[in-house]
Structure formats: structure tokens, C-alpha cells
Chain A
């Protein structure tokens, strides 16, 4: 059997951070008591009518333009009909065959479309099942209902779980840079579904696809897609056929379970929403949207590379996580751009300590961080000691110099008689290494430097130690 390759498409929903909902004047909800951000329109009361939110249209245009889409001069809303308690009208107002934007491309992955719709309300199930079936009781909170959503659909052009994750990271950064969404997966302001199919390498026909629903972190997306590829591979390699279905990935067990099969798929009976007029996108609207687009992550990465001397990976790591890029630039504000490479390297150290958190939300102020990098640069503190200082900054915050002073983490230098003494002790303690260095074997110096570093708990400057060793052995 020929080798199989994965074909992956993504469907991303992003909540827009407009002031009000998609079709009514209710303010968006951020954890308010249930059903306090509602009105006749978003509750679907009889007789209430939707009116499209101009700001949401503006944001959708910004997204479409940032992704290189073609903007439709006229687009319309459709009704997507199905019954569910989180859908108060019995239909979702969405866009169907005349979306506001189509086409486009981001980092080599082409886009199918970008469209506007409204979010559903939130169902809370009481009882053990955690689902509507088998729950003792289900209650609905309509605060979220009607929140503006933009749906972004890619062509099936992603080739691996890692590629999907990486691309999604860039998309998230792009949306974030536009300021149109909080793009927080855990909080649901960014949600992704994946379509996955396999085909023999070298063919172009698409295999039967399955849809993975609502994975709520980048890690789960990568793992979920990987699990689904593996599941399909086993089916195909054992001579079976993949069935079209919608799947749920459970990150705790790593298992995929079927939500519904093709036979159970709903007929949504789409038809043009008669309560709304078409969106006529004028040149003025497009210009206004374009004017509100700032620097996009891909451009930012290029700038970091060209103007600040970062390598390609380093530039992307900062630019594709916009909050890191922002922090980076704030730190440069205090250090000066000439320290960009060092700052970028040290942000790597920071990320290792804070994970996915936004550094702006941590105890480490950009000023403190910049000061630490400068102290390393001036050899006032060694790399190892600086890492210890960073631990303290992350845990408690504060000023790096004060931490160094309080904990005695400052570099030991030639001026400190102590360092010469410690070097002398190391030479005395290892005559064989000393002899080999004296005989011209430079590799042997490592043992002596190591001994000094252990003794000083890393506070000594490595180059200084090397010079001192050579100096003392030469006499």
C-alpha cells in the first residue's frame, strides 16, 4: 500500500470584541450574572427583529483584508435552521453562499471564506452526564447568545498536526494584532474545528473527511488531529473505509468519540434572512477597515529580522505570539534596540518559566527585565546567576540589582581577590589538568573552569576565569 498523507482544513470561530451584540444593542457579557445581558431580540421573543452591527461588519472587513480576501460588494445573511435550546429563534443568522469575504491566503495556506454570524447561548447541564441527554436539568444563559462571530474557513491545505498548530498560532496573532478579538481559546473567544482526511501521497483526490469539533487549546488541536490521523490510518491500512462523521476529542483520555454520523447530519434549510437587508460594502467601508489594520505578525517578523538582527525563528517566535512581540518591544524601549538579540534570547528564558501566560500579566516588568539583560551584558552578573534572578523576578517581581545585592549574586571579577584565590585552589586541587593546560592542551581547561563555577555557584565570569587560569599557570 502506498504511503498516506494527511489533508487538514480548519474552521475557526472568533468572537468579535464589539461593544454590543451582532443583532441587538445588548453589551457583550464577560462573566455577568446569567441572563442579565439580554433583550427581546437576543432572547428571540416574538416580534423582535435583528439589526446588523456596523462595527462587527467593520471588524469582519478588517479580518478579510488582513488575510488578503476578496471583499464582496454585496453579501447577505442566511438563516441556518435547527432546534436547540441554546438557539432562541430556532435558527442562527449566518452567511451562506454570499459571504462578506472570500479567498485570501495566510502563510501559504489559502482561505475559502470569512463570514459573519451570531454565537449561541450557553447551556449548563445539571447532573452527571454533563450533556443534555441524561442530565437532570439543563438551564440556559443567554448572555453569550448573539455575540458577533467571524468564521474563517481554510482550504484543506494543512499537511500535519504541527503545521495546523503553527498556522493557527499565526492566525491568532494576526487576529490579535487587529484588535478585533480577545482570541482566548480557553475562554472560547477563539474556537477551532478541524476537517481531517487521508489520501495516498501523490494523489489529489480528497478522501472521506471527518470533523473534529471545538478543541479548546493549541495543544489539543495538535494532539486531536494526530489522534484522528492515526485512527484513519489504521482503518485504511486494515482495509476499512473511513466514515464521514463529527468527532469529539477528549484530551484527558486521548480518545475520539462520535458526535453524529452522516445519516444524522442536520438539513439546515438555509434561506436568505428576510429580516435583514444585504450588506452593501462601499469603498469607504473598505478604506476605513484598511486604515485600521496595523502591522501584521508576518510583517513584524520581517522587521524583527531585518531591522533588529534577529534570526528567522527568533523573529517568528516573538511576532507570532503578539503578546511576546509587544513585551519585547517594550523591553527594547528601556534597553535600546542594539540589545535586541540579547533581549530576544532572554525572552526565551522567560517563556520557559511562564509558559503560555502573557508576560505583561506577570511580575516581571519590562523595565526590570531590560535591566537584567543589561546587567548580563555588562558582565555585572553571570548568565547562570541571571537565570536565578529571573526565577525571583517571576516569583516575586522586584528590581534585578536589588535581588543581586540581597542574594550576593553579583559577578566575581579580577578586582575581587576572592576569585584569584578560588582559581588558585582549583589549580592546586587538580594537578593533572593543570599540567595538561600548561602543556598546551586547551581542552583540559574545562575541568578547572568547571571547578571554579561550582565553587562560585556560577557567579564568576567564564572568560575572566579562563584568563586567570592562564595567568596563574604561566607564572
Chain B
């Protein structure tokens, strides 16, 4: 008898392919686990097993972040303003994955409109970290990360704007990959910051990430003008050494403000990389120090506009008994949006205001260009840039909710790649104790590569993963 929860998605797909496992059996197994979820990882779980797909993904069911539109299924982006909203259409990437054999298992909890690093900003309650239920799973794709880590779903997709796939993957001890901007269609993703949002896999291991990503990229989506024909291909990684790989360690992203336990795990992994044949040198990203500031101008600016459509006129919440149009708008948005969303709408509206545009938005755009150039210059000498994924391990629920800036600092290592539009992966990098002591929690290692280097990135991540040998079973019990 197979222990289904211990199969990776690739292993499950292979078992289905061999006829050792029925896709329906696997679906029902996970449907039951998801329905019994105690982490609040889901906002909706399928009742019926959909017809088993016979595509390359073998019928292994998929958990999908709430903000992907799924026809007839609640798609609320973690917000009360969209409570119960069931869109008439399905996001391109969800459709592609279903066609490839990954049917929809569940929708996962998230920070409201993907704004947050802990999933505490969800309008539907926080998700708990399966390693320690007093702690957050990270965010904003915290539901997807927790579900995969806890074995409530074989694999999941999320979205990453400034780290929303990579940081929760790190905090939950799984793999999370943010692809090159434009590689995956954004059609049907409820937008946070359009120039940064990108869908990607959250999986138990690197092979699963490669398997899922293969089906997410490909021909450009004619419904997303910013999507691109994916040059080259993504293959299943097999390489177990790092000979000839040059890793750059940016001093700017691997020292200040990072917990000692995380730094210790990072240093150990760099040593391991050397043993696998990689060269490890420091590199410079001189403008990375300004990345977070630029990000918190650009992302809220776009969000302030993207979220204007939630006005109570056509769908979602509408305040009742409004006295006039302005009152209806004001009360709908007052009641429907949470505090963090309101904060970012205010920040973004201010940054775009007449007279302030150049000082904020214009300057932030220039910083963005400079950061992209920093990476381009670095990749002339290095194959990948390596950093810790998050500056710390999972923190306690409520620990940072009163201090937005402390929360924003969670993204300090992930935001630069987002601004540059380049791919980055987070893999489990062992465990470390939180600063105050206590039981050890997962740590993430981030590898950043040039645009469209996903295949090489996965290959290097795979070699490190094999050598690191992370054991995630504890979270699945």
C-alpha cells in the first residue's frame, strides 16, 4: 500500500501513469485532506472529482491561489469586497494546467489582494504554519505554501509580486519559483501590481516545480499583451553537481537585518555549493538598498489604480442605504477593504498625484532600471545570484501586524528580482531556531538568474536540493 501523502506530485503522476494509482483515488484522498484542513489554508475545496485529465501532469490535483479566476468557483483575492464572487471565466494558466492534467482541487487563502507577507491580511482569517501553528506561513501565497507543506495538496500555484511565492515557500519548507516576468499569462489573475505580478509553482521539491512550470510557460497568451513566447524549454532537472557554476553573493542582501540562524544556514549552503563544484564569490548590487523603497512606491501606485474597479457598481460588495454615488463608493470601499489594502491605496494615490509623480513614481521607475542594470552587469560574471530568501524564519501570528514596515522588510531579499523581472527560486535550506529560541523552523535559499534562465535555475536548485536533503515529513503529519 502506497503512502499517498509521501508521494511527490511527479511520483504520483508516474504511479497513475503506470496504472498503480487511479487519478480519482488521488483526487479523493487530497479532497478529504483538504476538507479536513485545520490551518485555514483554503477558501474553497472541490466536492466533486473532476474528470481525470490524461495530460502530462497525470491527473494530480492542483491547489490554486484564491486570486486566480476560476469559472463558477469563488475567486475573492482574499478580500471581503469580493466575498462570494464567482467569475464567468477561468484564468489562462489554470485552464492550461487543467488541460495538462492538473484539475482544480481547491482555492487557497492569501493576503488580501496579495498585499502582505504573512497571510494575516486575508479577509477570511489567517492561515497557520504547519510547522508551528502559532506562526504565520508567510505570504501572500501563504495558503498555497501551507497546503503543500502540510500535504493537503500535492502542489499549488501562487503569485509573486515582491516575494509572495518565494517567502512563504521558505517559511513553510517547500520550493517556490517566480518565473521571468511575461513567461506566464496574467490573464485572469486578479491584479495587485501589473508590472510585477507573476504566477509560479509552489511544490514539495524542485522536480515538481519543473514539471508544473513546463505546462505554465509556452506560447504567449493572446489575451495578455505582456506575455511572451517562452524561448527555449524547461526540462526535468537531473544534474547533481555544480561544476563550472559561478554563484554571486551580494553583500547587500546577505548581512544586515538577517537572523543569525538564517545566516548560519546560508553560509553552510554556500560551503556545500563549493563542495559540489561551484565557485562562490561576492558580487555587488549597489542599488539593491533602494529596492524596497522603490517597490513600495511602484506596487501601491499600480494597486491604487487596479483596485479602483472594486466600486460596488457591477460585482462584489455594495454598501446598502447609501445616500448618493460618492457615499456608495466610500462606504463600499470602507467596508470591503482591509487596513493594509487601504494603506497601499493611499500610498499609491499619493505617489501618483499631480506634483508628486516625478518625485515618487518617476524616481522609483529609475531605481527599477538601475536595479535591472545591476543584475545584468552581475550576470556577465556570475550564473546566479544567491541570497537567503527571507530575513528570518516564520514569525508568530500578530508579531508584525502593528508595524507595517517590519512586515515589509520580509521582502528585502526577494523584491530586487521582482523589480528586475527576472526568475528566482526558493528551496528549503534546512532549519534554524527563531531568534528568541524554540523549535527549529524552515529556512529558504534563493537563487536568482537572468531572464528566461528557468531551466538552468531549476537544474542548479536541484543539485543543491539533492545535496541538502531537506526532510519535510514533520509538517505533513
Contact = CB atoms under 8 A, between A and B. Distances in A.
B325 A275 contact: no
A395 B367 CA distance: 72
Interface in B282-312: 301-302, 304-305, 307-311
Given A81-B308, A83-B329, A90-B308, A274 B187 contact: no
Contacts of A132: 325
B255 interface: no
Interface residues of B, number: 46
B8 interface: no
A292 B316 CA distance: 46
B305 A47 contact: no
A81 B226 contact: no
B440 interface: no
B87 A47 contact: yes
A52 interface: yes
A178 interface: no
Nearest to B350: A269
A241 B88 CA distance: 55
A46 B305 contact: no
Contact of A88 (B67, B190, B309, B353): B309
A40 B225 CA distance: 16
Interface string B341-356: 0000000010011100
B329 A79 contact: no
Contacts of B353: 267, 269
Contacts of A270: 352, 357
Contact of B194 (A40, A85, A90, A275): A275
A79 B349 CA distance: 13
A48 interface: yes
Contacts of A429: none
A90 B304 CA distance: 10
B305 A85 contact: no
Contact residues on A (Cβ < 8 Å of other chain), bracket: 20 to 34
B309 A89 contact: yes
Select the residue from A48, A83, A269, A276 with max chain B CB neighbours within 10 A.
A269
Interface in A295-346: none
Interface in A86-145: 88-91, 132-133, 140
Nearest to A276: B225
A271 B189 contact: no
A140 B68 CA distance: 27
Contact of A90 (B75, B222, B302, B311): B311
A43 B191 CA distance: 15
B202 to A, nearest CB: 19
A40 B85 CA distance: 14
B88 A83 contact: no
B354 A46 contact: no
A47 B189 contact: yes
A274 B194 contact: yes
Given A81-B352, A269-B354, 16 more contacts: A40-B88, A45-B314, A49-B223, A50-B225, A79-B305, A89-B309, A90-B308, A90-B309, A140-B313, A267-B354, A271-B361, A274-B193, A274-B194, A275-B194, A275-B225, A276-B225
Across the A-B interface, give the 5 residue pairs with the lowest CB-CB distance, nearest first.
Answer: A90-B308, A269-B352, A274-B194, A274-B195, A46-B190
9 contacts: A40-B87, A45-B88, A46-B309, A50-B225, A79-B305, A83-B308, A89-B308, A275-B191, A275-B226
